[in-house]
Copies of this chain bind each other. A is one copy, B any other.
Amino acid sequence: MSKFVVVLLVGFAFAKAIQAQTLKSPNGAFEMQFTLDSNGTPQYQLQLNGEPVIKKSSLGFELKNDEKSLKNDFSVVATDRSSFDETWQPVWGEESQIRNHYNEMAVTLKQAGTDRIMVIRFRLFDDGLGFRYEFPQQEFTYFVIKEELTQFAMTGDHTAYWIAGDYDTQEYDYTTSRLSQIGALHNSAISDNASQTPFSPTGVQTALMMKTDDGLYINIHEAALVDYSAMHLNLDEETMVFTSKLTPDVNGDMAYMQAPTTTPWRTIIASKNATDILASRMTYNLNEPLALEDTSWIKPTKYIGVWWEMITGKSSWSYTNDLPAIQLGKTDYSTLEPNDTHGATTAHVKDYIDFAAQHGFDAVLVEGWNQGWEDWFGHSKDYVFDFVTPYPDFDVKGIYEYAKSKDVKMIMHHETSGSTRNYERHLDTAFQFMKKYGYDAVKTGYVGNILPRGEHHYGQWTVNHYQHVLEKAAEYEIMINAHEAVRPTGIARTYPNLIGNESARGTEFQAFGGSKPNHTTILPFTRLIGGPMDYTPGIFEMDISKVNPDNDSHGNFTLANQLGLYVVMYSPLQMAADLPENYNRFLDAFQFIKEVPVDWEVSKYLEAEPGGYITIARKDKNSSSWFVGNSNGTTARTATVDFKFLEKGKKYKATIYADAKDAHYKNNPQAYKITTKNVTHKTKLDVFTAPGGGFGISVVEVE
Contact residues of A with B, CB < 8 Å?
A: 2-4, 137, 139, 141-142, 144, 249-251, 253, 256, 258-260, 321-325, 327, 337, 375, 379-382, 421, 424-425, 428, 452-455, 461, 464, 468
Residues of chain B within 8 A of A381, CB atoms compared: 142, 256, 258
Give 10 A-B contacts (CB < 8 Å), ordered by A residue. Answer: A2-B321, A2-B322, A3-B322, A141-B375, A142-B379, A250-B453, A253-B453, A256-B380, A258-B325, A260-B327
Question: Would you list the 8 A-B pairs with minimal beta carbon distance, nearest first?
Answer: A452-B452, A141-B325, A250-B454, A142-B379, A141-B324, A250-B250, A3-B322, A250-B453
A325 touches B2 (CB 8 A): no
Bound together, the chains give a CA A381 to CA B257 distance in angstroms of 9
* B324 A2 Cβ-Cβ under 8 A: yes
Contact indicator A382/B464 (Cβ below 8 Å): yes
Residues of B within 8 A of A428 (CB): 428
Residues in chain B near residue A144, CB distance under 8 A: 380
Interface pair B141/A249, CB less than 8 Å apart: no
Tell me which residues across on chain B come within 8 A of A337, comparing CB atoms.
3
Further contacts, 13 of them, CB under 8 A, given A250-B454, A251-B454? A142-B325, A249-B453, A250-B250, A250-B452, A251-B453, A258-B325, A258-B327, A258-B375, A258-B379, A258-B381, A425-B468, A428-B428, A452-B461
CB-CB < 8 A to A321: which residues of B?
A: 2
Q: How far is the CA of A379 from the CA of B421 in the complex (A)?
A: 22
Chain B residues within an 8 Å CB radius of A258? 325, 327, 375, 379, 381
Closest chain B residue to A420, Cβ basis:
B421
Name the residue of chain B whose CB is nearest to the CB of A326: B258
Complex Cα–Cα for A421 and B256 (A): 15
* Residues in chain B near residue A380, CB distance under 8 A: 144, 256
Contact call B137/A323, Cβ cutoff below 8 A: yes
Q: How far is the CA of A114 from the CA of B366 in the complex (A)?
A: 39
Give the residues in chain B near A139, CB-CB below 8 Å.
324
Cα separation A82 to B250 with both chains bound (whole Å): 47
| Distance of A672 from chain B, by nearest CB (Å) | 46
Q: Are A325 and B464 in contact (CB under 8 A)?
A: no
Quote the shortest CB–CB distance from A374 to chain B (angstroms): 10
* A428: min CB distance to chain B, Å: 6
Chain B's closest residue to A461 (CB) is B452
Which chain B residues lie closer than 8 Å to A327 at the CB level? 258, 260
Are A4's CB and B251's CB within 8 A? Answer: no
Q: Which residue on chain B has the smallest CB distance to residue A325?
A: B141
Residues of B within 8 A of A2 (CB): 321-324
Chain B proximity of A420: nearest CB distance (Å): 8
**Residues of the B chain whose Cβ atoms lie less than 8 Å from the Cβ of A425:** 424, 468
Least distance between A675 CB and chain B CB atoms (Å): 56
> Could you tell me if A382 and B256 are in contact, using CB atoms closer than 8 angstroms?
yes
Min CB distance, A615 to chain B, in Å? 46
Complex: how many Å from CA A141 to CA B325?
7
Of the candidates A139, A375, A380, A381, the one having the most CB atoms from chain B within 10 angstroms of its own CB is A380
Q: Which residue of B lies closest to A321 (CB)?
A: B2
* B residues less than 8 Å from A251 (CB atoms): 453-454
Q: Which residues of B contact A249 (CB under 8 A)?
A: 453
Q: A323 and B259: CB pair below 8 A? A: no
When the two chains form their complex, are residues B452 and A4 in contact, meaning their CB atoms are under 8 A apart?
no
* Cα distance, A321 to B425, chains bound together (Å): 35
Most chain B C-beta atoms within 10 Å of own C-beta, residue among A325, A428, A455: A325
Q: Which residues of B contact A454 (CB under 8 A)?
A: 250-251, 454
